[in-house]
Structure 1
């Protein structure tokens, strides 16, 4: 029985009952005849002697079946390309030996010499005589192989372009990892090779872009448009330096629409960006001084006004004119004038804050935009710094110059909202300043002028108050629960011949701002220690408020120790009161300074506790002995309930840290009784006594509690 007959017999189905029998032999013969390829059976010999081959062999090889069967004209071995025969035989015989099917691709030569690629699939079987033969199917795959070869060649060409391109190229995942990068990109980013780049940049958003948000913007643009074009970003190189790049990229999707990766190119545009930046700088900055020019001034003012409008603040615009600049220019020449302008610009920049703007308006005129100066004091300090900076001597062409400046100030929103309006008003104020004698400043608004002059006069008077003997020290008593004196708090008072009795609430902040608080504190400390040494009870202490500015002095403890020695007062009788805000700077330095003071035997108290930046951390770290409950928490505490919540908490906290508690602002017996019941040890306030002169304090200690109004100050 032949192979085909056997195939037909095996494959013939058993027809179901009632169905007309199908001629399976005819169907299978037709199928085999019309297959696009050839079905065969051959021996496992040197020529692969063919026992049976289908009609498809003619189209595939150019030989008719009868010319191949029995190797009459040719054989399967001779049809196989001479370069592939050994590999084909090895693959087939290995499958036969293993009892498995095989599938191989190789070349054949047709009757007319054409080389074709074929795919052969088959297996070794036992024929009807019990011999092992080979049965299989061979089909023409020349076109598919050619397509594969073209694809491989295209991939090789792409790979060559990718690897050898002078432009950086990449493939990245959506979550920010590199899949591929070429050598140009690695060199651009400063890595030894693409592998090092891929290994190091595992999170593009966090490690590549200077602004991590750029990666998200990149993804949003691709999602919206399918691609990004000239996407400019600043990135880090491997050594930490920065460059600017432009990316062109698109998304690659799979057959189901799933995002596979992004791919694109990268170009270094640092030089172009720098050139653009230089052009923009030249368009918006003065070439001589490097300051913003009129073009940028308008934009800066709009920004400052917008911020002030949102916050309800003010913006000061100051018009600065150098006095006698024309004389310098005419006498020493334009080169000397340029040196003066450049140095003046530098001084103006240095004496203002980073958020302020200094612009050159033209000639010897500058414009300042001062933001966040809501308080007049702050603005005046800024203007004073400007005057002092410009007035510093300058050597030009071997000649020392001293010049002043006249300043006119307008204020947003009172004096206008537009640049030209504010400039016009500031210019008017500046000319008014020149008319008054140059070297000064004037506000456009009369009310501000009056307030500014009063404030400057007060500051000037305060600077000489100690030398003129205008300051004095008064003492407010502190008592225990049984109303026995425990000490006094030393307070400074100022009686000015020009301003009368000036409230501490008015001059103490001014002293803090100007730095005169340091000599004032020295005066109070020396006076208080000297007076305390006269008190009859050696157990009484004197408390002196210590300014935050004092903490900047490295020899503060030694200085206080010298004052105690000079007065003959034991350190244990001195208590230094410090506000919470004074503790909130350099906590390490503060702790070190307080420890040095504490080592002398001096007690440390925190004044107005609860009104500043209270922190359990600093209380636990600093050598604090006393907590003073601020008067704002004492008022109304005699009503109990919620009004006692904070005082109770402070007392409990202080006692848990082994601190003594003092209540300020005691005005009625009920307050003292309520706080005493909760464990408060000391009390201070008008109910006990108002601040007393030194003589009245001595009388108080001798039991003369009926103090006249003249003694209370």
Structure 2
């Protein structure tokens, strides 16, 4: 037994430590105090039938109920006697194994206390040689009853849980934070079309990518748990193993470690496909026309309100067109109601094909339809759609083997000019429609002359803008972006137009026009070059921390050389990329995602900062934001103006700031006009501010004085 300790035993061995460590210390007293105050029993015993004790510490009283004098040399009882009968062989085997091997052992067993109580103890010891060269045991015995009972209760609870888990008719799961299954029961496996839980765990290694039909749904699940600690009735459409789809409802929470670390999610899953489909069917029937499948009056009101809200936030307009079929009564009466229904279904199909995805067509009743048209493409697009509708309706239709033709009369009202409520807009559009019928069938008329006048003005403005680009009537002004105390971080470059014909033209008028007629690219390049040259001058004047922000038109993201253009402009101006900030709209993120991502990654690799402008109006999702290399979110002015009024503007602003912080993005509030707005935004955590409260856009000649504190 090479590992048996050398002679002189337990206490003498301790005394052989380095002399320097014991200088000036009463070693005997220290060892005595240490041994006799341990919470447990230190011992030396013979290796015999009774484990005859040579030495026992005072801890024996608490542990066994016997004092050391009663245990030493088996005066009253022996360790063998107080060892629980069924465990004696276990102890002897452990010591025999130690004697044949390393000499050290560890064994857990039961003893019977003097008062009859049964305790669990842990004995750790070693086979050593005593002063006479005889093999003895030296070790320590401690009470582990509480730990054993706790482990047993935990095991019992886990066994009961496992039984519930495995036999439940409800799907149950545990998933890692990063999105794979740790455990699943048979009910969940069957629900998802797998034969066993193990097959489910192996087959669904990527929950976010392979389970949910809707992209980003897993991130929404995680976000809700982060915010509320759990999710309840979290309904999602998911794929089964065979590719079929079902709707599920999840209830889940996060399980934390004692240190507060999120370990995994656990919860339940139920198949709610039948309930979901029934609810969808009821909702569809309540909001759609049963004949044509188009939205009905109920849904029309909701769609119009959405577009009105969006137009109000953006300061834009839209159109409501009332479409009435000409001679429908004649066809319906002559060919029968069945033929009339077929005609209505075909008209509905043609109307849908004429509109954009953002527009709405609804059946208002009988042979009347209503179109809600946004002004995303401006007046020219609206007129184009109306002509397309008129031409499409006028195409021949085969009804029961007979070719018939039907025209339509269209009346148009403009919101918010002609009203901001469905009833008012419909009344005005209906009046315009009747006027169109009087002028001759197959016509469309606007309720007022405002759009006709605007169309004429638009043509004149278009020509003037083209001349302005050629004759350099455009110039750039700069609005500071500051901290809460007004200290500047940089400036946003804004284009302005002083027209010889129209005077000062608002960007709200000429920027959309430039987007329509293709001049926006030239405008953007002009602003980019001008702003970068000016920022280089700030840097040379000792303001190297200032950044200049330039708005980039969505159309430029269709250009293959945008990054090359930016790189060339920076080099031409001698401006480092970190002094340039490019502002894009949410619409860019939700267009050609792969193309946009490639362009943004290329710009970000250069060192340019990327900001999302007017955030909150474009319905970007968390999943979109996380995919793109974005540095800054700019809260839209419409929310800033309402943030100090305690209404929806404050709630949306708070949500945007919280979202930005969770993604480590910087937040800029634009359009700050009041001190109360600044106080609210600063408290919410906005880092940068922009608006008339601090400074209006200023010409380049005033910037030096502004930076000097003038």
**TM value normalised by structure 1:** 0.52
Give the match for residue 244 of structure 1: 247
Shift of residue 185, structure 1, vs aligned partner: 3.0
Give the match for residue 131 of structure 2: 128
Give the match for residue 270 of structure 1: 273
SS at match of 2:212: coil
**Alignment map for 1:37-116 (pairs within 5 Å):** 37-63=40-66, 65=68, 68-71=71-74, 74-111=77-114, 113-116=116-119
SS at match of 2:246: strand
Shift of residue 321, structure 1, vs aligned partner: 3.7
Contact 2:320 2:429 in 1 (8 A): no
Does residue 325 (structure 1) correspond to residue 333 (structure 2)? The answer is: no
- CA pair 374-449 structure 1, distance change in 2 beyond 3 A: closer
Give the match for residue 418 of structure 2: 416
Distance 1:116 1:71 in 2: 20
Does residue 388 (structure 1) correspond to residue 392 (structure 2)? The answer is: no
Distance 2:88 2:269 in 1: 50
SS at match of 2:110: strand
138, 147, 158: which one aligns with 1:155: 158
SS at match of 1:83: helix
Shift of residue 322, structure 1, vs aligned partner: 5.5
Shift of residue 121, structure 1, vs aligned partner: 1.3
Distance 2:66 2:447 in 1: 113
Contact 2:320 2:415 in 1 (8 A): no
Distance 1:20 1:293 in 2: 98
Shift of residue 132, structure 1, vs aligned partner: 0.8
Q: 1:620-672 CA deviation, whole Å, 9 max, x = no partner? A: xxxxxxxxxxxxxxxxxxxxxxxxxxxxxxxxxxxxxxxxxxxxxxxxxxxxx
Does residue 164 (structure 1) correspond to residue 167 (structure 2)? The answer is: yes
Q: 1:535-563 CA deviation, whole Å, 9 max, x = no partner? A: xxxxxxxxxxxxxxxxxxxxxxxxxxxxx
Contact 1:317 1:422 in 2 (8 A): no
Distance 1:65 1:18 in 2: 28
Give the match for residue 441 of structure 1: 443
Give the match for residue 508 of structure 2: none
SS at match of 1:48: coil
Contact 1:314 1:374 in 2 (8 A): no
Give the match for residue 548 of structure 1: none
**Alignment map for 1:450-489 (pairs within 5 Å):** none
Give the match for residue 206 of structure 1: 209
SS at match of 2:209: helix
Distance 1:147 1:58 in 2: 24
- CA pair 267-414 structure 1, distance change in 2 beyond 3 A: closer
Give the match for residue 225 of structure 1: 228
Distance 1:422 1:433 in 2: 16
SS at match of 2:294: coil
**TM value normalised by structure 2:** 0.53
**Alignment map for 1:312-351 (pairs within 5 Å):** 315=319, 317-321=321-325, 323=327, 325=329, 328=332, 341-342=344-345, 345-346=348-349, 348-349=351-352
284, 289, 309: which one aligns with 2:287: 284
Q: 1:286-313 CA deviation, whole Å, 9 max, x = no partner? A: 2343321112223334556778896978
Distance 2:10 2:559 in 1: 98
**Alignment map for 1:616-695 (pairs within 5 Å):** none
Shift of residue 88, structure 1, vs aligned partner: 1.5
Give the match for residue 379 of structure 1: 386
Q: 1:602-621 CA deviation, whole Å, 9 max, x = no partner? A: xxxxxxxxxxx999xxxxxx
Shift of residue 445, structure 1, vs aligned partner: 6.2
Query: Paired residues, what number?
Result: 444
Shift of residue 37, structure 1, vs aligned partner: 3.4
Structure 2 runs not aligned, ≥5 long: 1-7, 454-557, 561-710
Shift of residue 192, structure 1, vs aligned partner: 3.1
Contact 1:250 1:263 in 2 (8 A): yes
SS at match of 1:46: coil
- CA pair 435-125 structure 1, distance change in 2 beyond 3 A: same
Distance 1:266 1:47 in 2: 60
Give the match for residue 24 of structure 1: 28
Contact 1:122 1:137 in 2 (8 A): yes
Distance 1:17 1:339 in 2: 105
Contact 1:171 1:262 in 2 (8 A): yes
Contact 1:318 1:369 in 2 (8 A): no
SS at match of 2:255: strand
Shift of residue 223, structure 1, vs aligned partner: 3.1
Shift of residue 38, structure 1, vs aligned partner: 3.0
- CA pair 151-449 structure 1, distance change in 2 beyond 3 A: closer
Contact 2:43 2:139 in 1 (8 A): yes
Give the match for residue 558 of structure 1: none
Contact 1:52 1:69 in 2 (8 A): yes
Q: 1:543-600 CA deviation, whole Å, 9 max, x = no partner? A: xxxxxxxxxxxxxxxxxxxxxxxxxxxxxxxxxxxxxxxxxxxxxxxxxxxxxxxxxx
Contact 1:305 1:412 in 2 (8 A): no
**Alignment map for 1:387-406 (pairs within 5 Å):** 387-388=394-395, 392-395=397-400, 404-406=406-408
Give the match for residue 538 of structure 1: none
Distance 2:276 2:191 in 1: 16
Give the match for residue 179 of structure 2: 176
- CA pair 145-312 structure 1, distance change in 2 beyond 3 A: closer
Shift of residue 211, structure 1, vs aligned partner: 3.1
Distance 2:274 2:63 in 1: 64
Shift of residue 119, structure 1, vs aligned partner: 0.9
Contact 2:213 2:238 in 1 (8 A): yes
Larger-gyration structure (1/2) = 1
Distance 1:20 1:351 in 2: 101
Contact 2:308 2:416 in 1 (8 A): no
SS at match of 2:85: coil
- CA pair 200-340 structure 1, distance change in 2 beyond 3 A: same
Q: Which has the higher contact order (CA 8 A, sep 6+)?
A: 2
- CA pair 316-233 structure 1, distance change in 2 beyond 3 A: same
407, 419, 427: which one aligns with 2:409: 407
Give the match for residue 522 of structure 1: none
Distance 2:70 2:230 in 1: 61
Stretch of structure 1 that moved more, 96-105 or 303-312: 303-312
Give the match for residue 499 of structure 2: none
CA RMSD of superposed structures (Å): 4.5
Shift of residue 383, structure 1, vs aligned partner: 0.8
- CA pair 449-211 structure 1, distance change in 2 beyond 3 A: closer
Give the match for residue 629 of structure 1: none
Distance 1:160 1:412 in 2: 66
359, 363, 384: which one aligns with 1:360: 363
Shift of residue 180, structure 1, vs aligned partner: 3.0
- CA pair 307-323 structure 1, distance change in 2 beyond 3 A: farther
Stretch of structure 1 that moved more, 136-145 or 344-353: 344-353
Distance 2:245 2:429 in 1: 42
Structure 1 runs not aligned, ≥5 long: 452-612, 616-713
Q: 1:463-521 CA deviation, whole Å, 9 max, x = no partner? A: xxxxxxxxxxxxxxxxxxxxxxxxxxxxxxxxxxxxxxxxxxxxxxxxxxxxxxxxxxx
SS at match of 2:219: helix
Shift of residue 230, structure 1, vs aligned partner: 3.5
